[in-house]
Structure 1
């Protein structure tokens, strides 16, 4: 039995004082040995964290019992892992819990949620269904649903530039999907704003579909934002769809280039990783800033202005009122 857990979650519930909540949330994670990336925003909370099973269970209970979130649904996606999936802990305050700049509010209007079983059933039996991937190009390059439409976009901010690519499908049933469901809350809402009428979203995303339905027809691996880089999803009919960036052989080993000035997300096979010392090109291999070879292909970002206790030094420190927050479960 793997002793650690990796949690993926989000919650579109307004947080009245994001700065204060960031501080108490970060303190809780530090005291409970949790690592990961958590975003706090006025519109809600988004996180991926790892820790021992008992620490993660306590953390989920703490969130669900917090007065801010009582009555809402976190819908945690929980994967077993042999160790921490992160090297650090970051809890940041941002304007949005997923970068989009889309003029929508998923608490007001969003696509119809499809649980994994209903999603699988609709795909098998409804000829009018069209799957649309709302992730970035480097994510769907290593894995996507069979037959899904993908966009060549770096972030969700670029979605308005690509909607015309599916305008001719407005009479179809559109199902959006992403890693854990968070992007689809806004992406599906945006499609509704643009005149699409039958818009659905895979609730809980690719990860939940893999956990509950075995991941059938998800081809390749799912890109994740921790030091695993990718995770297995399909236990039924797996297929490798990506090729090594260097030698063009079939490969689903997704890595970051060892050159930090490049840091490209690409598939590189084990042989090429060794030969290129983790770099994606000869130029990157000889770059003076190239990081030491890491066979995992993952390199933590350096945050020079960040400390666990105070966040980013560049942010003006504000007086924090802790009276409405608590650490106990």
Structure 2
């Protein structure tokens, strides 16, 4: 039996004095010996934390006991060891960066796409009048995505608003959005509605919940996650591998961060190329004097990175 859990969650709910809340919340998480990464903004919380089952249960109870966050849903994974090295809790302007100068034009608490539970989403994905839209970044959907999904050439979610015009051809379709845990879809679907898309939906709980409740059917490849696991399995019904090694083109499910911290590129890389290039994405990166030691995982704490502070 696995001794640890990893919790993925978010909640859009106004937080007064959010910067101070972030500092206090960091202290609370450390008191439970949790590790993870939490973003706090006036609009709510976005976090992934990991620790013993007892610590995670105590954390979930505390979050739900706060009336501001009582509606929070946690995606729970059983893990062999904690999924982070440090505990970070930071204050930022948004819990997921939308790239909008005027963030007031969308408010997930007021208007978003219709939420579809995993089984409902599963029933709709093959309909002729449906478009499945992946709102994640390139490195995420290159590792895995839903069958026949429309993907966008974006490096970060903040680039999503610039792609709205490319999606105009789908305005007469039912647009089903999805992301890892649901948080990006809250803003993506709201933005689509703002721009005149009338029939917009979102996968409630994202890919992670879909894997747990619908077996992950028709999700091809693996799901990128923002912790030291890097990628997790989703599909237990008809699994497949769709990602290819960035260097040689061999089919591989493995994703790494380049060992050169000044590059830190997210790439899929087979074990053979990983050994040959010492975990780097290119020969040039192997010569960087700050190159990190490759241990076969391709996961590193970002360098430089302030630890255990609430920062803007």
Distance 1:166 1:67, change over 3 A: closer
Contact kept, 8 Å, 2:87 with 2:307, in 1: the verdict is no
Question: Deviation per CA, 1:201-246, whole angstroms, max 9, x where unpaired?
Answer: 0000000000111100000100000001111101111111111111
Q: Does 2:208 correspond to 1:210? A: no
Partner of 1:104: 106
Partner of 1:274: 275
The count of residues paired between Structure 1 and Structure 2 equals 308
Partner of 1:182: 183
TM-score with structure 2 length normalisation?
A: 0.96
Distance 1:120 1:307 in 2: 41
Q: CA deviation at 1:307?
A: 4.3
Distance 2:302 2:22 in 1: 20
TM-score with structure 1 length normalisation?
A: 0.91
Q: CA RMSD in A?
A: 1.2
Question: Deviation per CA, 1:118-155, whole angstroms, max 9, x where unpaired?
Answer: 1111124x321110000011110110000000000112
Q: Does 2:21 correspond to 1:21? A: yes
Distance 1:295 1:50 in 2: 22
Distance 1:227 1:167, change over 3 A: same
Match of 1:209, SS? helix
Partner of 1:261: 262
**Which residues in structure 2 correspond to 1:245-324 (within 5 Å)?**
245-304=246-305, 306-308=306-308, 310-312=309-311
Q: CA deviation at 1:168?
A: 1.2
**Which residues in structure 2 correspond to 1:222-233 (within 5 Å)?**
222-233=223-234
Distance 1:307 1:258 in 2: 20
Distance 1:16 1:91 in 2: 16
Q: Which runs of 4+ in 1 moved over 3 A?
A: none
Q: Structure 1: any 5+ residue segments left out of the alignment?
A: 316-329
Distance 1:179 1:200 in 2: 15
Match of 1:311, SS? coil
Q: Structure 2: any 5+ residue segments left out of the alignment?
A: none
